[in-house]
Structure 1
Amino acid sequence: MGPNSFLKVLPEMVAFLRVAELGSFSAAADLLGITPSAASRQVKRLEKEIGVQLLQRTTRQLRLTEAGAEAFERCRELAAAAQDTMALAQRFSAEPRGLVRLSAPKAFARRVLHPLVLDFLARHPAVDVQLIVEDRDIDPIREGVDLVVRLTTEPPEGLVARRLMAVAHILVAAPAYLEGHAAIAHPRDLAAHSCLSLGEHERDNHWRFSRPGEDGVEVTVQGRYIANHSEMRMEAATAGLGVACVPAFSAQQALGEGRVARVLGDWEFRGNYHGHAWILYPPNRFTVPKCRVLIDHLVAHLGTEG
């Protein structure tokens, strides 16, 4: 193999990297903008060129061979180096410019980030933003995303994490629902109500509450509608289907407009999902002016809430 022979298989290395990351030729092909058969051919060409099998293919799944696992790490390093090279000019530019790819969960992106991004774009005309709305965990290094917002109690290792804001969950219900049903003065009263929960895990219908000077309370609830998306639970509550647990940022507008009312506002709701919103990025991303100004903009507007 000649010293420059790797040049002709660079696209094949990228295809192999994406297939290995996503565990699917189809998913990798969608990301790369090619067909699944083309992605498969690229991986086969890479295997032929280097002379070892990288993937074990079955009808159910793809698995990395021992050689494939090592090749995967090398290809990931290569892709990261290429991304750094593409951003090199930004590090030496005094003026922020270029495209920033920012990923965030759907409800948080819509209710919190979107208005702030619009304000940011007005302030920085040379910077563009691609807002990628995804509820799954995005790996910024693997997927070529500059910044990631994640709602969690513990940010992952290997990434720089800056706290944006606390994410509190609250209970809300439509005024018409509250007027037509028994009063809710204590968490135990919820057992007699239709409660809208997530349903992702076994204990998602076990709602816990606390307040100063009292023992914690746990209530098993049930309701007519279960949905694992806060915006949908919010709409169901607005429609009068019951009492919904939602992040406070999802309910802010509806509360302000009077379409829902806070329930048990003197208690702290301790659901299975709480923590903070964090902005995550590889250690070198903050040095890029276009990323730095967006990070600073979000922290300046949200950091006081954390």
Structure 2
Amino acid sequence: MDTNTLIALMSELAVFKIVVDEGSFTAAARKLGVTPSALSKQLSRLEHTLSTKLLERTTRKLVITESGKGIYNQCCTLIEATKQVVEFTSSEHTTPSGSLTVAAPKAFLSIVLQPMVLPFLTKYPDIELKLKARDGEIDLISEGIDVVFRLTEKPTEGLVLKQMGKVSLSLCGSPDYLAQRGTPMHPTELRQHDCLYLGETPTDHIWEFVKENESHTVAVTGRYAVNHSQMRLRGVMDGLGIGIFPDFVIKKALEEGSVKQVLADWTIKGNYQGDIALQFAQTKFMPARLRVFIDYVSEHLSKYTVS
């Protein structure tokens, strides 16, 4: 394939990515300032050049083919490489600027990161910060995310990793509930208590505890399940039972005496614990906005975490 064809192909690949991202030729055409028919012709040329069908066009929606999915991922890589070219030309600028998209688990974003947002934006007025609350797996490149926070013992391979501290899980109940129902002294005693769990999966009411060489798996029950940490904590504080939380969620409530820790000498196994892993894609030229964000959260995270 000659150079001229490759140059035209790069433009058409970028158009293909935008069409997929926007979900329709009409929306993509509006974003690019062209007509839908012009985009359709470009996509047809791209499919002819690549000798493969990328999109199934119906009257109601576009459906990406299996070949299209693989080529879309390559388009994301192409766009990321182009962004690095731009970053190379601006890497020596002393004023951090531009857009930064950050994803993190909902509770961590709300409780830990949110209080840092206004001071950070005040300090760096030329940075545009976009926050996304995400609890599941994330593909940084295809989703346009610059930085992701994960609470995990297994960080994502292939990404740069900065460890920002540690988070553990804690069990707690309100003083009134524990006074009325008693404080469990062993994990198996939780079977006689009302417990609050997430209710996200068929098995998240099954709690696992470890201490030295001893382990216990307990299937708990309760009248209230909610996959929102602060709502679940409110339920515990109101005396609805005992719940498990990342330590940063209950830090303030423990200090104020609204809840008491239960079975503190046991380690609780589960999601949303381990390292606070800040991860981002490998790049030779780190944008100034990313560098100052990492430095800023590194400095401020220590008061939320347990070393």
TM bucket by the smaller chain? 0.7 to 0.9
Which residue does the alignment assign to 1:171? 171
Which residue does the alignment assign to 2:145? 145
Whether contact under 8 Å (2:150, 2:278) holds in the other structure is yes
CA shift, 1:193, in A, is: 0.5
Whether contact under 8 Å (2:162, 2:279) holds in the other structure is yes
Structure 2: how far apart are the matches of 1:111 and 1:39?
45
Structure 1: how far apart are the matches of 2:30 and 2:234?
38
Whether contact under 8 Å (1:83, 1:144) holds in the other structure is no
CA shift, 1:224, in A, is: 0.7
Which residue does the alignment assign to 2:188? 188
CA shift, 1:301, in A, is: 3.3
Q: Which runs of 5+ in 1 are unaligned?
A: 20-24
CA shift, 1:42, in A, is: 7.9
Give deviations 1:99-152, integer Å, cap 9, x for gaps.
322121110011111223334334444434222223333322112222111222
Give deviations 1:253-276, integer Å, cap 9, x for gaps.
222222222112232222355322
> Structure 1 residues 41 and 260 mapped into 2: Cα distance closer, same or farther (>3 Å)?
farther
Give deviations 1:34-59, integer Å, cap 9, x for gaps.
69xx9997874443122242134689
Which residue does the alignment assign to 1:224? 223
DSSP-derived class of the 1:110 partner: helix
Q: How does 1:101-120 map to 2 (within 5 A)?
A: 101-120=101-120
Which residue does the alignment assign to 1:75? 75
Q: Give the total of aligned pairs.
A: 295
Structure 2: how far apart are the matches of 1:17 and 1:238?
46
Which residue does the alignment assign to 2:278? 279
Structure 1: how far apart are the matches of 2:186 and 2:35?
58
Structure 2: how far apart are the matches of 1:90 and 1:103?
24
TM superposition score normalised by structure 1: 0.80
CA shift, 1:189, in A, is: 1.7
Alpha-carbon RMSD across the aligned residues, in angstroms, is 3.5
Whether contact under 8 Å (1:12, 1:42) holds in the other structure is no
Aligned AA (1:296):
D
Whether contact under 8 Å (1:167, 1:275) holds in the other structure is yes
CA shift, 1:285, in A, is: 7.5
DSSP-derived class of the 2:181 partner: coil
Q: How does 1:87-102 map to 2 (within 5 A)?
A: 87-102=87-102
Q: Find 1:12's aligned residue among 11, 15, 18.
A: 15
Structure 2: how far apart are the matches of 1:150 and 1:40?
40
> Structure 1 residues 238 and 43 mapped into 2: Cα distance closer, same or farther (>3 Å)?
farther
CA shift, 1:194, in A, is: 0.4
Which residue does the alignment assign to 1:264? 263
Aligned AA (1:225):
Y
DSSP-derived class of the 1:180 partner: helix
> Structure 1 residues 286 and 161 mapped into 2: Cα distance closer, same or farther (>3 Å)?
farther
Which residue does the alignment assign to 1:236? 235
